[in-house]
Structure 1
Amino acid sequence: MSALAQVDWRTALVAAVCAVLVAVAGGVATRTDGWYQRLRVPAWKPPDWAFGPVWTTIFAMTACSGVLAWTADPAGRPLIATVFAVNGVLNIAWSVLFFRFRRPDWALIEVAMLWLSILVLMLAVGRTSLTAALLNIPYLAWVGVASCLNLRIVQLNPRRSLA
Structure 2
Amino acid sequence: MPPTPTTPTAGAAPSRRRSGLTLLLLLALCYGVAAAGAVATGDAGSTYAALDRPVWAPPGWLFGPVWTVLYGMIAVAGWLVTRRPGPGRRPALAAWGVQLALNALWTPLFFAAEQYGLAFLDIALLLAAVVATALLSARVDRRAAWLLAPYLLWVGYAAALNLALWLTN
TM class, shorter-length: 0.7 to 0.9
Q: Which residue of 2 aligns with 1:98?
A: 110
Residues in 1 aligned to 2:88 and 2:17: alpha-carbon distance in whole angstroms: 17
* 1:85/1:24 CA distance change after superposition, 3 Å: same
Local SS of the residue matching 2:44 = coil
TM-score of the pair, normalised by structure 2 = 0.82
Which 4+ residue blocks in structure 1 deviate beyond 3 angstroms? 33-37, 74-78
Q: Which residue of 1 aligns with 2:99?
A: 87
Amino acid at match of 1:120: A
Which deviations, in whole Å up to 9, do the C-alpha atoms of 1:22-70 show, x marking residues without a partner?
A: 1112222233265543320112111111101100111111111111111
Equivalent pairs: percent with the same residue? 35
Contact 1:6 1:71 in 2 (8 A): no
Matching of residue 60 in structure 1 with residue 72 in structure 2: yes
Q: Which residue of 1 aligns with 2:145?
A: 133
Shift of 1:15: 1.3
Amino acid at match of 2:26: A
TM-score of the pair, normalised by structure 1 = 0.85
- After TM superposition, the structure 1 = structure 2 runs for residues 9-158 of structure 1, keeping only pairs within 5 Å, are 9-30=20-41, 31-32=43-44, 35-73=47-85, 75-157=87-169
Contact 2:92 2:137 in 1 (8 A): yes
Which deviations, in whole Å up to 9, do the C-alpha atoms of 1:77-108 show, x marking residues without a partner?
A: 43343222211110011111111111111111
Which deviations, in whole Å up to 9, do the C-alpha atoms of 1:101-150 show, x marking residues without a partner?
A: 11111111111000001011112211111111010010000011101111
Local SS of the residue matching 1:42 = coil
Cα-Cα RMSD: 2.1
Aligned residue pairs total 153
Residues in 2 aligned to 1:88 and 1:143: alpha-carbon distance in whole angstroms: 12
Local SS of the residue matching 1:41 = coil
Contact 1:70 1:76 in 2 (8 A): no
The answer to which structure, 1 or 2, has the higher relative contact order (CA under 8 A, 6+ apart) is: 1
